[in-house]
A and B are shown apart, each in its own frame.
Chain A
C-alpha cells in the first residue's frame, strides 16, 4: 500500500520556467511533509518542509504548497535552473508515531 505517491516518474522543463512536482498521500494522520533532492550516486539532501498547520512554505526559489482536503502537496521551483536537474522525493511523517514514508521520486530535467 503506497501511502505517498508521486505519479509522475519524470518531468522535463525549460530553463527559466516554473517546475511543479506533485505528491499525493492517503493517510490523513500525516502532519509533516518534506522534500528531498537527489543527484546520481549521491544521497538525498533536504530541500524544504511544511507542517500541516500551514498551507504554504517558501524558501528562495522553492515553495511547497499543502492542500489537506485534497491530500496533495506540490513543490514549485521558480525559475528553474540546470542545477535543479535531479530526482525529487516527497516524504510524509506522523509525529509521535515514529513513521516517515517516502514517495517513489520524480526525475526532473531542466533543458537549456
Chain B
C-alpha cells in the first residue's frame, strides 16, 4: 500500500530544543515538500526537494532545516531559532516536482511547545 508516513503524530518541544519530524514515502516520487498549517491560514511551504541531495527554501524556511539523503526520506528539523513552532506540519510528495502536479500528503504532525 503506497503512501506517505509521517511520525510522530504529536510532538512536544521544550524551549531551546531541536526536534525532528520524520517523513517517508514509498511512492517512488522524486519530489518531496514540507508545509506548515496554522489556524485560519493556508498551507505555507517551508522546504522542498526535487532530487536526492538537493533542496530549496520555501516561503518560510527560517528556523527550519532539512536533508534529502535518500529518495524515500525527507526529515524536517525544527530548530531553536524557530520562535513560533506550534503548528500542524504536513509532508507531501509528487512525481516530478512540477508545481502544478497533484501532491500526495501524509497525515501530519502536530507540534506544540511545552
Question: Could you tell me the distance between the alpha carbons of A36 and B90 in the complex, rounded to whole angstroms?
Answer: 13
When distances are taken between beta carbons in the complex, the residues of chain B under 8 Å from A99 are: 99
CB <8 Å contact, B102 and A49: yes
Size of chain B's interface in residues, with CB distance under 8 A?
A: 23
For residue B45, CB closer than 8 A to chain A, the reply is yes
Shortest B47–chain A CB gap in Å is 13
- Report if A97-B43 is in contact (Cβ < 8 Å); known contacts: A43-B90, A44-B90: no
Query: Which of B60-68, B69-77, B78-86, B105-113 faces chain A?
Result: B105-113
Question: Could you tell me the distance between the alpha carbons of A89 and B107 in the complex, rounded to whole angstroms?
Answer: 16
Partner of B99 from A9, A44, A93, A103 at Cβ < 8 Å: A93
Closest A residue to B98 by beta carbon equals A95
When distances are taken between beta carbons in the complex, the residues of chain A under 8 Å from B106 are: 43
Show the binding face of A for B, using Cβ within 8 Å: 2, 4, 9, 31-32, 34, 36, 41-46, 49, 89, 91, 93-95, 97-105
Show the binding face of B for A, using Cβ within 8 Å: 4, 6, 9, 35, 40-45, 56, 90, 92, 98-100, 102-108
